[in-house]
Structure 1
Amino acid sequence: MSDETLLSELCSICNTNASKYRCPGCSARTCSLPCYKRHQQWAQCSGQRDPTKFVKKSQLVTPAGIDHDFNFLTGIERDIEKADKGLAENSHGSAPTPRSWSQSQASQKGQTNYQHLEAAGVKVIRAPKGLSRQKENKSHRSSTKKSTGSRNIMWTVEWLDDRKKRLLTETSSTCQIALAHPFAPREQHKTKKRKRNAQSPPATNSPTTQDAIPTTTNQDKPHSPSGGRVSDSSAQAAEEVQAQLAKEDSPNHSDDGSITKPMGNGEHRFFLLKPRTSSSKHVLIPLSATDTLGDCLYNRTVLEFPTIYAFPGTLPQLPDEFMLEEEYLRQEGEEQKEFDALISELDPEILKRLKEDGQQPDRQSTREEVDSKDILDVLKKDFGAVI
């Protein structure tokens, strides 16, 4: 019987062999590495010692106990030094080096730096963390520097058309609205290119002139060595461009005889959504198609990222669910005047009573505090007299 191993000394996993090892995390006894791995899987044990666990003095004054405490304190000092170094690199006083800039960009990948957006003159209202709009915001500062040394802002822009089709794009703050919106057909870019070529004198057999020629013209008219056909087609393209420009610049006549000139670039009218207004309608701010996105957003407020509506240029008026900022401000002013007039007509006694009612909770809380102190003093006196 003396040669038999006690049950308390057997392996806690196989219960066959004598235990040789003790788990640092939970002190479980095991006989081999397979049994230890099985213990970690069954008990969900990490196998790491808890440095804050109570240790007896007899176990502390040992080489192993001193070694454990030394490693624990050294790890704390290392974490503090790492945090101080990170704060020094990200301080506002010193400009970040290209290496630290790339490192910060890599560490904050997928996160929006709102300080960069507000530095561009845009007030950003943050959506609650976890909502879809907050997750969709990928606005960031561009990694390439401009000639002035500053960086552009790559905005996440929400585009909506008259059919409520929603598209998200990554647009630079230096890009024009007319070139940035995604609802333009592909032919529009060719038309813009022909406009630029028509403004300059066409050169025979030049690459720019050939690019301005429509594809159908190249197929119908073969290219001649003298270049006469190319000049004729260039002149025809210029006439088409002039007709298109005249059509876009001409005002639209409404049914009642009034003339309404479309806003925007002739194809679309662009409006910036004003967030969090008191009106039941969506308040829109007109934008110029030739302005850059940065100019349109300067001194404006957006909810996480800008929302821009693109309506057809031939639309005589906005739909019923929208209103312009000018009309909204006028209504706000009228409502404020009505409220001020209503307040001025009230009896001064009523105003005084309303003011006192607004301060009533503060007085009530103060009275309750005084009453509780008095009750506590009385109880102390009573118990003191009994003792």
Structure 2
Amino acid sequence: MPYVTCAGPPPGRHGHHPGTHQIMGRASGKRLARGRGADDRPSLFPAAEFARMRWPMAGSDWRQVRASINSPPAPMIGGHLMGRGKTMLSIVIPYYNERDYLPATLHSLGRQTNRNFQLILVDNASDDGSGDIARAVMADYPDIETQFLHNAVPGQLPTLEHGLSRVTTPYVASCDADTLYPPHYVGRCLDLFASAGDGAKPDNRVVGVMAIDLYAPVEHAASRRRIAKIIQKSQIFSSQCHSGGYAQAYCTEVLRAVGGFESAGWPYLLYDHELYERVRRQGQIRYCASHYCFPSDRRVDRKSVGWTWAERTVYRFTPSAGKGWFFYQFLAKRFARRGLIQAKLRDRDF
């Protein structure tokens, strides 16, 4: 199926705001134009806002960051809140003992300029008060419809599935409790879903939207290089996933048709890549240089819960038609031997 990458916001004839400026000109990343979209919001995450909300990079103390973020919400920076229309997107966030990270994530989603979404927060039997914290934070955003669910079955996948069972919107996104989302995240996601040339043709409809994970303010050189790298990789290695579960969104109908988040044949880690493999054959997957998020820095060293360099290399160079073999014949056996099942993420030994 077609795999589509946009190096900048797509042109207006595809349903996007015609006044939106280009963010990344070419995959080389030699220029990064700053501009405003038609709704007057900044196209880039402002440095001042990022500095106030960012994760504890460069060794800064997370508790100080959390204290500053946990204050009452400030007015929107550089834009205005759009009036609520039809709810188009459900954001499912599974969490387990995330009291130190969850507030900042929820505040970043509470400050979205596009309000046509709902939150589905699923507590996976936390015992650190995360559920109460989630309710307290979302009380600051009464206009956002929020469902507070509980799932006693341990594991991220059954928790995501529990959230998916409550989704009634055309699109669903999975977000993580330790990731920041810029104010235009929801709006850009919905724009990209609306960008297909002819949605009546199965091969041409957008069934998935992937965000780029950044670990520095978007205007920093490191982030510009990463954006260019991911855009280029998504073009060269077009049958593989370049995004994590914290940054993925799918057409709800398609997601359910391929079996949902949880696959009986894949109880292992890297569910996001395996899920991507099931969905990508149903239509277009879109990446865009202006669609990104900021995961926490605790993801930097995850060797104990990740795949090896050799496994990543095999994945990269396995042809599109052989990706099923890679997951279900090759990688499944290796992960089973190492005990890399979903429940291992609860150990937090990374």
TM over 0.5: no
Report the TM-score when normalising by structure 2.
0.19
Report the TM-score when normalising by structure 1.
0.18
Which structure has the highest helix share of the two? Answer: 1
